[in-house]
């Protein structure tokens, strides 16, 4: 009797550890669920929207201009940021802060990306901290799952602009 109970308990623990490892690998290497906070990506992503961030694009260097990514903040590595990729390495990016009179142009250095929020008036992004190392990107946002009326794949923001070399 005791042997049967111990056997079932150990079997349950084994299955729990096994499925826990599978879940850990899935969230670490394939995708993760992210709750976004802050106004920097409005109107595309609002405060407390829930999105799925897939990680395979990052590992296979498939991040493109226009993608929304989750990255470690260059200012505070304990927090994540959600921004849109505006420039890849080698691109010339011309931007201006709302307080600037003239545009400033910079080249994105090798191994870096230029990230900006869709809400340019209320976003701390590459305009303030410069290009972000590619290694800080955690994943590409591919699907919004909350709120229910906005479930679906993300499209370009109305504010998104294609930047070309001048």
pLDDT reported for residue 88? 94
Pairwise pLDDT comparison (32 vs 95), residue with the higher score: 32
Rg (CA), the chain: 20
Contacts from 77-80 at CB under 8 Å and sequence distance 24+?
Answer: 80/34, 80/138
Catalytic residue positions, numbered = 40, 83
Note the CATH architecture for domain 31-153.
Answer: Ribbon (2.10)
Tens digits of residue pLDDT in 90-148: 999 988 765 666 778 889 999 999 999 998 888 899 988 999 999 999 999 999 998 88
Number of Cβ within a 10 Å radius of residue 10: 10
The HSE-up count of residue 78 (CA atoms within 13 Å, CB side) is 0
The full set of domain ranges for the chain reads 31-153
Band of the pLDDT at 164, cuts 50, 70, 90? very low
| CA–CA dist 142, 67 (Å, integer) | 9
């Amino acid at each position: 009797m005791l042997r049967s109970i111990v056997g079932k308990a150990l079997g349950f623990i084994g299955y729990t550890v096994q499925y826990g490892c599978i879940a850990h690998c899935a969230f670490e290497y394939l995708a993760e669920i992210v709750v976004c906070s802050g106004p920097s990506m409005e109107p595309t992503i609002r405060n407390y929207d829930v999105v799925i961030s897939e990680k395979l694009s990052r590992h296979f260097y498939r991040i493109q201009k226009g993608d929304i990514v989750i990255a470690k903040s260059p200012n505070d590595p304990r927090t994540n940021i959600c921004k849109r990729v505006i420039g890849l390495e080698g691109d010339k990016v011309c931007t201006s802060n709302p307080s600037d009179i003239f545009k400033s142009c910079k080249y994105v250095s090798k191994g870096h990306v230029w990230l900006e929020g869709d809400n340019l008036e209320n976003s701390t992004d590459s305009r303030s901290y410069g290009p972000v190392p590619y290694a800080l990107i955690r994943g590409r946002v591919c699907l919004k799952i909350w709120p229910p009326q906005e479930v679906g794949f993300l499209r370009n923001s109305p504010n998104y602009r294609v930047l070309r070399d001048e």
